[in-house]
Structure 1
């Protein structure tokens, strides 16, 4: 009888390549921070309009360094600051939040093979919040809100 037959509770280790260990499993990707996504959306919109940080900050009546910090995800802006920055860019707060939600869905779809129940729940909650926020706001001519699949919201002006 060999020594392996006497020890049934021990696992046998087979090296794949001599001297090398298998790579440890990758850590699950971190979910993006809200402030990073909000900042990305604000900066992208400002740059798309070819406007300077100073121009938007002056129109929003917030300091240029603070807006810069918000765009870089260094500061967690209040709803009042976000609404002012959005208005300065010609967006409603609901439109800004809808775009951020789109970014969250995009990023989480890239980091996971299948959407988790938590992501779907957050998406549905956000869609409800954006719809509620839009219907509570004064209606602009031609503004419509429609929900798409998986909790996505499309705001059209």
Structure 2
């Protein structure tokens, strides 16, 4: 049996950085504003947002405070992003084949989206 190729998983620090940046931009705030309020350097916060640095729980807490979001909300959003990024993907031709081979039952619904 051939080994399936393993899908790469994003790093947690990348997902955390994406959410922090998204939240900051939603608030129309600059890196400098958030960094100053969180008492971290602009460069460090930039590296966290880009997924180049893995922030400690203390840094995450002060950045979340600066953004006025709960750490739990940050982690929940990271979890949702992770689930979306790793949802199984089914190719359209495979879906059509499965549909053609599946027994027809009354009330079945089949959706193909592109």
Give me the whole-angstrom Cα distance separating, in 1, the residues matched to 2:33 and 2:5: 42
Deviating 4+ runs (over 6 angstroms): none
Residue of structure 2 in register with 1:70 after alignment: 48
Where do 1:11-50 residues align within 5 Å?
A: 27-50=5-28
Q: TM-score, normalised by structure 1?
A: 0.53
RMSD: 1.9
Looking at secondary structure, tell me which structure has more strand per residue. Answer: 1
1:105 correspondence with 2:83:
yes
Residue of structure 1 in register with 2:109 after alignment: none
Counterpart pick for 2:32 among 37, 50, 54: 54
Give me the whole-angstrom Cα distance separating, in 2, the residues matched to 1:39 and 1:70: 5
Structure 2: tracts of 5 or more residues without a match: 91-114
Once the two structures are superposed, residues 51-84 of structure 1 have per-residue CA deviations (whole angstroms, 9 ceiling, x without a partner) of 0000000011111100000000000000000111
* Number of equivalenced pairs: 88
Which protein has greater RCO, CA pairs closer than 8 Å, 6+ apart?
Answer: 2
Q: TM-score, normalised by structure 2?
A: 0.72
